[in-house]
Amino acid sequence: MKLIRFGDIDSEKPGVLLPSGVMIDASAVVDDYDGDFFENDGLQKLEVWLKENQHSAPAAPQGVRLGPPVTRPGKIICIGLNYSDHAAESGMEAPKEPVLFFKSPTALSGPYDDVELPRHSQKMDWEVELAFVIGKKAKYVEEAAERHIAGYAIMNDLSEREHQLERCGQWVKGKSHDTFAPLGPFLATAEEIEDASNLQMTLDVNQQRRQTGSTKTMIFPPAFLVHYISQFMTLAAGDIITTGTPPGVGLGMKPPVYLREGDVMELRIEGLGMQKQTVVSSQ
């Protein structure tokens, strides 16, 4: 299944994107795609409902906004330097263990929403990433970690590099501005993605290719990340983990290139669709 949420900001309804491309309203059976939904067998119940109702369920309105395909995550956990070629681009050794940091859940936004350039920002950067959503509680997971993954989506791990690297402390300052976590356009449930470690991914800025990569160069794959992170904290259903970026970020260019108001980004990951965002000034 491909889960979507559609409608105005903070008023989205849950839906499903059918193979035909039609988006249907699932609010008759689902309140929303949140932690309670995933933890309480919501995917299984939705699948049963869909088999019986996909031809009779109402369609989403034409041209409706798509929101992030999940809502109210307790945590957005990011993995730094998780692509060997990106680590080399950054002049850093590949990490021996996953590097963890956080984005604020308030950074979550829709896949086509505008993204805000923070006030006085000169170093806003792009990062195409494979994200996944936790489907059931994970604590000290040792085996079958993949069973805790509900599905996969694209995330743009937007970063303000001055705030991240020059303002002291951990990276979270540069990662958490409003709109810095566009997710979607849909959440592809785990069975939709045959091999999450072999997906092509790209990012364009103003129709110029900036990132071309593959999850094949990921150092720590999703199932291992579930195991690893669960040794340090409980992963709750609905939490989002975003898994790092391939080379081609603005910081790695010589000289560095950063986003400006009016720039347009397009992100693609094989099997997960496309995002598109325009940079606007912060309110």
Point out which residues pair with 122 in neighbouring strands.
none
CATH superfamily of 71-281: Fumarylacetoacetase-like, C-terminal domain (3.90.850.10)
Which residues, including other chains, have CB under 8 Å from residue 217's CB and lie 6 or more apart?
A: 83, 84, 85, 86, 246
**Calculated CA dihedral for residues 233, 239, 240, 243, nearest 10 degrees:** 20
Asked whether residue 27 carries a pLDDT value surpassing 80, the answer given is yes
pLDDT at 269: 98
Average pLDDT over residues 248-261: 96
Asked whether residue 170 carries a pLDDT value surpassing 90, the answer given is no
Residue 132: CA count within 13 A, CB half-sphere: 27
Point out which residues pair with 15 in neighbouring strands.
4, 25
pLDDT, tens only, 69-80? 999 999 999 999
pTM score of the predicted model: 0.97
Question: Is there a contact between 273 and 128 (Cβ–Cβ < 8 Å)?
Answer: no
Point out which residues pair with 80 in neighbouring strands.
99
* Confidence tier at 97 by pLDDT (50, 70, 90): very high
pLDDT at 93: 82
* Confidence tier at 283 by pLDDT (50, 70, 90): confident
Q: How many CB atoms within 10 Å of residue 204? A: 18
φ, ψ dihedrals at 280, nearest 5°: -125, 165
Cα dihedral sign for 152, 19, 179, 31? negative
* Amino acid identity at 1: M
pLDDT at 273: 98
Which residues, including other chains, have CB under 8 Å from residue 229's CB and lie 6 or more apart?
A: 77, 98, 100, 138, 235, 241
Which position has the token pair 């669960």?
A: 230
Average pLDDT over residues 106-112: 98
Asked whether residue 85 carries a pLDDT value surpassing 90, the answer given is no
Average pLDDT over residues 168-174: 91
Average pLDDT over residues 4-30: 97
List the domain boundaries for the chain.
Answer: 2-53, 71-281
